[in-house]
Amino acid sequence: MPFCPETLSSNERFFEAVLLCANEMLTIYRDSPRIASIFASQQRWLMAHAGFGLHYGYPDDTKKGLYSGRFVEFVVGNKIASRNTAAAFVQEMLVYRYLRTVSGQSDRRTRLLEPTETAEHHFMKWLHAHLLVLDGLDGGTRLAQVGSDPSVFGKIQPMIAKAFIGTEAVRDPGRTFNLFNWANSGGLIMDYLMTLLPGFDRSKERMSVGPVSLGEIRAQFMISNTHLKRLLSHAAEMGSIGWEEPPRKGDLWLSRGFILEYVNYQAAKFAIVDAATETVLGR
């Protein structure tokens, strides 16, 4: 049986593993900020999964293939983004060469698109990081199996995409998580703050992450001073973060509620990845 979210969220080893995975995502960002910017907000992250899912064959959909009109209608229909945002995302992926036109098309009315090798490579890295965590929890061989047959990625990913898009715990984990994850670079900043935690003592209302440099965050994640201060100020007003000394001095702390939102979201996400992997590979 695949892991369920409740089992994962209550597992202390899972929390440690999630922080290692977050560090891996941050490494990917530092190595390739442009490709990692696709995952910098939940909206873009879901659109990327939607695009891959349509390309490989979205579960229970009679059609297979990715083209701009279909992608836009899908994104709007699933309330991921507006029509203009979805269309702009496709154009951005074409400009950055993460998407390309399929050659040798017979139907000139519909321009089929496909992910480039660069896009597939980075999506595989994302999946590998998640499988590594799951294998570490139960001694499984998911990563080795996918590594020995990369073609299964095209079967696993659409299942993951559909579950992500249809799961409330992934789409709406909580007020503070949503605040960060819908802001440009906010998801990466949230990952960064969580990786600073020395652990998670659930009996404490607050957990200190030590001194945090706003200048370092701005430089690392290419966010303006105005947007960063607004993001952190909103989180502070919600009681989710704070400093030991005003204004923004001393150690930064994260609230138990904020950390739990993060952990529960990760548990829901990893459970989805595990279930899709088991469906394709077996246990």
Per-residue model confidence as pLDDT tens digits over 248-264: 778 999 999 999 999 99
**The tokens of 258 are what?**
């904020």
Mean pLDDT estimate for the chain: 91
Per-residue model confidence as pLDDT tens digits over 145-167: 999 998 999 999 999 999 999 99
Domain map of the chain by residue range?
A: 5-171, 175-260
Between strands 99-101 and 113-115, the pairing is antiparallel
- Classify 167 in phi/psi space as left (phi over 0), alpha (psi -120 to 50) or beta: beta
- Classify 230 in phi/psi space as left (phi over 0), alpha (psi -120 to 50) or beta: alpha
> What's phi and psi for 183, nearest 5 deg?
-95, 145
CA distance 33 to 36: 5
CA distance 120 to 108: 26
State what percent of residues in the chain have pLDDT above 90: 71
Average pLDDT estimate for 117-124:
91
Angle formed at CA 167 by CA 166 and CA 169, multiple of 5 degrees: 155
Of 169 and 182, the one with more pLDDT: 169
Instruction: Decide if domain 5-171 falls under CATH 1.25.10.
Output: no
Most distant pair of Cα atoms in the chain: their distance: 66
Average pLDDT estimate for 42-62:
92
> What's phi and psi for 89, nearest 5 deg?
-65, -45
Of 205 and 12, the one with more pLDDT: 205
Band the pLDDT of 220: cuts 50, 70, 90: confident
Average pLDDT estimate for 102-124:
84
pLDDT (0 to 100) of residue 106: 57
CA distance 47 to 165: 9
Instruction: Decide if domain 175-260 falls under CATH 1.10.10.
Output: yes
Same fold, 5-171 and 175-260: yes
How buried is residue 225: exposed, middle or buried, by Cβ count under 10 Å (0-12/13-18/19+)? Answer: exposed
